[in-house]
Structure 1
Amino acid sequence: MVAPLSAWPWENLGIFKYLLYGPFLAKVIHSMIYEDSQMDSWCLHILIICALRGLIHQLWSTYSNMLFLTRNHRVLQQGVDFKQIDKEWDWDNFLILQSLMASMACYSFSFLSNLPLWNTRGCIYALILHMGVSEPLYYWVHKYFHSDYLYTRYHSLHHASAVPQTSTAGSATFLEHLILSVVIGIPILGASLIGSGSTSMIYGYVLIFDFLRCLGHSNVEVVPHQIFESFPLLRYLLYTPTYHSLHHTEMRTNFCLFMPLYDALGKTLNSKSWELHREISASGKNGRAPDFVFLAHVVDVISALHVPFVFRSFGSLPFTTQLFLLPLWPICFVVMLAMWGWSKTFLLGFYKLRGLVQQTWVVPRFGFQYFLPFAREGINNHIEEAILRADRLGVKVISLAALNKNEALNGGGTLFVDKHPDLRVRVVHGNTLTAAVILNEIPRDVKEVFLTGATSKLGRAIALYLCRRRVRVLMLTLSTERFQMIKKEAPVQCQNFLAQVTKYQAAQNCKTWIVGKWITPRQQGWAPTGTHFHQFVVPSILAFRKDCTYGNLAAMKLPEDVEGLGSCEYTMERGVVHACHAGGVIHLLEGWTHHEVGAIDVGRIDLVWGAAMKHGLKPV
């Protein structure tokens, strides 16, 4: 049975909960249009304050999840997983609650609607009331919520988040936020009842309150330890992310709102607070070198917004273009220009598997740039720099995403291995597992396939593998020379299963298409009804035919014991990664010491597939 006041009254409304702001907006519009006198400004102020509070939480979330800036100052090194993101999905419920409570206060106390812009005494009174009333009240109530009865029924939801995030600050039950609303309301209402209230005081107090809440839950130590060393008393007046994180790991300590003074007085101050803060703040090296790196790239401007530090909830779902992203396009483009100027790869995310740290780095280049001849040298320099950086860090395996291992760009990674023969890090293109995924999707009873991109690395390997299975492969290529080279690699008794074709019309009776080169809707029209399009082309082909089916890009689901994974890899489902990514993971787990670059070793396809199955990866 659900405890009283633990559930939110509007939790079943989903996204429609934001309609609760509707009356405020309607009142503002009505006042602007129909009322001769100055409109009821309190409705407008409530909407503005809610928007600013949401912006503060978003900016803090963006900063704390910018791992390329914060990784060495993170207090807890775990990643934020999908379970935590889902628990905190409705973190902003408290904004709706407090806006409704503010509206009731304005109706009950009419003077709140006509406050002056500034009153110095009011700010002083609010500060005194906060330090003398709100802080000890919060401390006492918070400590009481850790008693067995209240913790189990109410407060455990907040502590279910293993890694503090700005969203965690808002993730709590209805009862807890009712009490927090009282805590935040006492200084505002108290100063106003005394006759010293002001609009600036309300804005300032509420926004600073949220700023400090986000600071404590950011999991990134931003308070320099030198400040506390120069002014020792200050450590009792302002908490730090380190201080608050200890409350989440050792819950019987550090109960304060913002002022550790009350923990000191109540004898609940964690003895490790100051030393741990100094250690994390001073060293700047609180991160662990990864064991594996997946070197990704940007597909286009809009998809670049599908990263955890933009919208964490959006990044936890498979990417789709949404209307709310379009206004952000110019901002994203400017940021990408800045990232180009920085000329570095950026840490995008990480997770842990079997105790091994896996990271995703991204090359700040758009997909179309990989096909510009004058851009190739710069892109290769980025990739080379990332490989050398991984080598210096002690990374064991670095896997290259689709366009980063383009044959025309760097020979599938061969360029870097040949240039740096003493690399300790293993460079992996992952195409062996990609080929294995595609091949295992093809039903065993298929006798004929049509293959585009037939002379590419993957196309060659797929053709050679299938001909050994006595499957006839129609290889679309205009280069007879390249076709003959591949044909000669096949066993003599299997060579007659490889056939060169130069037109799409040749496949008008073949229902199994393997697409390795982008094809237009018109070219798809030659496929017969019921055709299934397997594909290994980036970007994916358009699903134009309603009478045919389309496979996704080759991908695999990571094992169930993966930890800290909280973002989706492009259009993949949760926990699913591209096969070339998974191929690098397998290379690491197996402890293989060779580079996987250049041409695919067809003889290793079944070996790599078997290793993937052994380690718990699953085909999608």
Structure 2
Amino acid sequence: MATLSAWPWENFGAFKYLLYGPLIARVLYSRIQEDIKDDWCLHILIICALRGFVYQLWTSYSNMLFLTRNRRILQLGVDFKQIDKEWDWDNFIILQALMASMACYMFPILTSLPLWNTRGFVAIMILHMGVSEPLYYWVHRYFHGDYLFAHYHSLHHSSAVPQPFTAGNATFLEHLVLNAVIGIPVLGCCLIGYGSISMIYGYVLIFDFLRCLGHCNVEIVPHQMFETFPFLRYLLYTPTYHSLHHTEMGTNYCLFMPLYDALGHTLNSKSWELHKKIRLNSGKNARVPDFVFLAHVVDLTSSMHVPFVFRSFGSKPFSTKIFLLPLLPVAFVVMLVMWAMSKTFLITFYNLRGHLHQTWAVPRFGFQYFLPFARGGINKHIEEAILRADRLGIKVISLAALNKNEALNGGGTLFVNKHPNLKVRVVHGNTLTAAVILNEISEDVKEVFLTGATSKLGRAIALYLCRRRVRVLMLTLSNERFQRIKKEAPTDCQKYLVQVRKYRAAQNCKAWIVGKWITPREQSWAPPGAHFHQFVVPPILPFRKDCTYGDLAAMRLPDDVEGLGSCEYTMERGVVHACHAGGVVHSLEGWTHHEVGAIDVDRIDLVWKAALKHGLKPVSTVTKHNQLQKIS
């Protein structure tokens, strides 16, 4: 690597934050020793925290697609590759904290500044416009030279979609230069006697605010302002202006003021025309997706597992983290606002072979689906989302787990019957879910034990397996439901469906298919070496050490998916629940039928083969093993 391209603490991981330790120790020491009135370390720490908060707020706003999708400049999603590349975006804040502490030791005047000095604000604006802006402009142009760009600046430009965190994603050398750009006005004002604490806070935070503005990829600056006051276009850049620097390099080098691009003849001629065009189109709908997955929130902690809260957290499989606990009151307030607004919102989108896929979310939490008095309101929101998709011209809308609950709306049947002229296809995706579970079961299995046997998925699994001459022990207390399912089986296969009423009936069966949550005590009836296949949410607890537990039905999306940067609940990157994948296949195949209500057993193999044809892959290691056995 080139000299000064890597960060000194690049391999520290989360331990890099220990570099704040001396500052924290100094603050604690000054508080213990009452005779020491030294607050400069505290101010540095507060400024660092505020800077991180500014970047986080801007990033959250940029990823609130339900607010920004019609004003986005680059219509691309932020993928996992970019998120990982920008993971340590805040290195520069640590660097500038260390440099600020060194400056305080070298220039003691910095440790005894007044709270306010009006002249300082005037002076720092003059120094910024006369020193920082031209200095940044010329250095930036040099960094676009062949050698410096290849070894230093290319990292910053490697991010496909500008984001506020992209502003901090640069090499060590670049941020040393930026440290001079931001430090010269501050230090200059202080040395000439115009410095103040409020001036430093204001200048640094406004500097970060404008950096985030340029990288946010959302055009928020009204074009009417430039039409009314044309000279302003040379004093303040816009997100569109800066995005052109990333898409058409060689233009728009300025820090915040396009004036220097005009003077240096590097101003992109399309800057303000494109800015006006994006602003005028902001009231129109963006490109209509081919497919929408209608999700729902599970609980308060999982509600924070979305890109517009913590992008890095959302890019990993969900797990409860300690740092989320203080944010629970905020999440609770947001939940109340969601209920009050009662709007579905867009939380992520990605492209698959040119087909735009989106995820919408219903403003309802998991526990509400089990409240009888809440069903009407939930169905109303789902219906509104379906009708909205129909108006927009979306081809397929797929319902997530609880949104298609049989007791809630009959697996989507309610909406299809109520609106027979729907152009959008409503899909529950359970056909592929059944296919995933069934392909986990080896062909040499002759007997299985099935809980949740009379559910939508349980029925389909039982009917499919009995056709394969597999004996199915169906756990159900309802003789009527069992007999109804048994009559659906071919006459010569009905003998393979056996009703059982207790778990002890499966004490010799090593293949358990769990469709209803079972307790550790109920699991104890399984013999040693048993395998628990499951389609129950939440998954059962892995209580038995002498048994194995399967994954929830899921599939990995094809490798050519673009713009996917968030994990679906507890799933790994690029993996979605089978019902979600079922909607994707429905869209890619161009099927024109609704997939609602009972599962068509005859279509299970058809849907499975279609999923594999389009590059979706099974996630379960059991399924992969079975597939290899079939091939061999």
Tell me if TM exceeds 0.5: yes
Structure 1 range deviating more: 526-535 or 444-453:
526-535
In 2, Cα distance between equivalents of 1:507 and 1:362: 40
Alpha-carbon displacement from aligned partner over 1:504-554 (angstroms, at most 9, x marks no partner):
111111121111111122212222222221111122222222222222210
What aligned pairs does 1:469-480 form with structure 2 within 5 A after superposition? 469-480=468-479
Aligned to 1:251: 249
The yes-or-no answer on 1:331 pairing with 2:330 is: yes
Q: Is the 8 A contact 1:280 1:286 kept in 2?
A: no
Count of residue correspondences = 618
Corresponding position of 1:503: 502
> 2 CA distance for matches of 1:545 and 1:167?
45
Measure the CA separation in 1 of the matches of 2:518 and 2:127: 69
Q: Distance in 2 between matches of 1:533 and 1:259?
A: 63
How far has the Cα of 1:286 moved from its partner? 6.5
Instruction: Provide the rounded CA distance (Å) in 2 between the counterparts of 1:63 and 1:542.
Output: 37
Name the counterpart of 2:67.
Answer: 69
* Contact in 2 for aligned 1:557/1:577 (Cα 8 Å): yes
CA–CA distance in structure 2, aligned partners of residues 327 and 91 of structure 1: 23
The equivalent residue for 1:81 is 79
Is the Cα–Cα contact under 8 Å of residues 319 and 568 in structure 1 kept in the other structure? yes
SS of residue paired to 1:296: strand
Equivalent residue for 1:428? 427
Opposite residue 226 of structure 1, the aligned amino acid is Q
Q: Paired residue for 1:238, among 228, 236, 239?
A: 236
What's the CA shift string for 1:155-196, capped at 9, x where partnerless?
000000000001100000000000000000010001111111
Residue aligned with 1:341, SS: helix
Letter in 2 for 1:241: P
Q: Please, which of 156, 170, 173 is the counterpart of residue 172 of structure 1?
A: 170
Q: TM-score, normalised by structure 1?
A: 0.99
**For 1:335-354, what aligned pairs fall within 5 Å after superposition?**
335-354=334-353
| SS of structure 2 residue aligned to 1:78 | coil
SS at match of 2:70: helix
Equivalent residue number for residue 383 of structure 2: 384
Match in the other structure for 2:583: 584
Deviation at 1:93, TM superposition (A): 0.2
> Aligned letter for 1:51?
A
Does residue 106 in structure 1 map to residue 98 in structure 2? Answer: no
Letter in 2 for 1:341: A
**Counterparts of 1:367 and 1:529, CA distance in 2:** 34
Residue correspondence of structure 1 range 104-503 to structure 2 within 5 A: 104-284=102-282, 285=284, 287-503=286-502
Gaps of 5+ in 1: none
Match of 1:516 in 2: 515
Structure 2: tracts of 5 or more residues without a match:
620-632
**In 2, are the aligned partners of 1:74 and 1:286 still within 8 Å (CA)?**
no
What is the CA–CA distance in structure 1 between the aligned matches of 2:548 and 2:371, rounded to whole Å?
A: 32
Q: Does 1:28 align with 2:24?
A: no
Report if aligned partners of 1:73, 1:286 keep a CA contact under 8 Å in 2.
no
Which stretch of structure 1 is more off in the superposition, 3-12 or 503-512? 503-512
For residues 210-246 of structure 1, the C-alpha deviation after alignment (integer angstroms, 9 at most, x for no partner) is: 0000010000111111111111100110001111011
Partner amino acid, structure 1, of 2:273: E
Residues 281 and 619 (structure 1), Cα distance of their counterparts in 2 relative to 1, 3 Å cut: same
Q: Give the drift of 1:35.
A: 3.7
Moved more, 487-496 or 310-319: 487-496
Find the aligned partners of 2:57 and 2:481 in 1 and give their Cα distance: 53
Residue 282 of structure 1: CA displacement? Answer: 2.2
SS of corresponding position for 2:551: strand
Deviation at 1:469, TM superposition (A): 0.9
- Assess if the C-alpha contact under 8 Å between 1:449 and 1:474 holds in 2: yes
Pick from 17, 37, 52: which aligns with 1:54? 52
Query: Cα deviation per residue 1:469-522 (whole Å; 9 max; x = unaligned)?
Result: 111111011110110111111111111111101111111111211111111222
- What is the TM-score when the length of structure 2 is the normalising length? 0.97
Structure 1 Cα separation of the partners of residues 542 and 327 of structure 2: 27
1:74–1:287 contact (8 Å) kept in structure 2: no
Distance 1:425 1:286, change over 3 A: closer
Same amino acid, percent of matched pairs: 81
Q: Which moved more, 1:499-508 or 1:97-106?
A: 499-508
Give 3-state SS (helix, strand or coil) of 2:293's partner: strand
**Helix, strand or coil for the counterpart of 1:364?**
strand
Match of 2:629 in 1: none
CA–CA distance in 2 between the matches of 1:465 and 1:41?
Answer: 73
Structure 2: which amino acid aligns with 1:165? Q
Moved over 6 A (4+): none
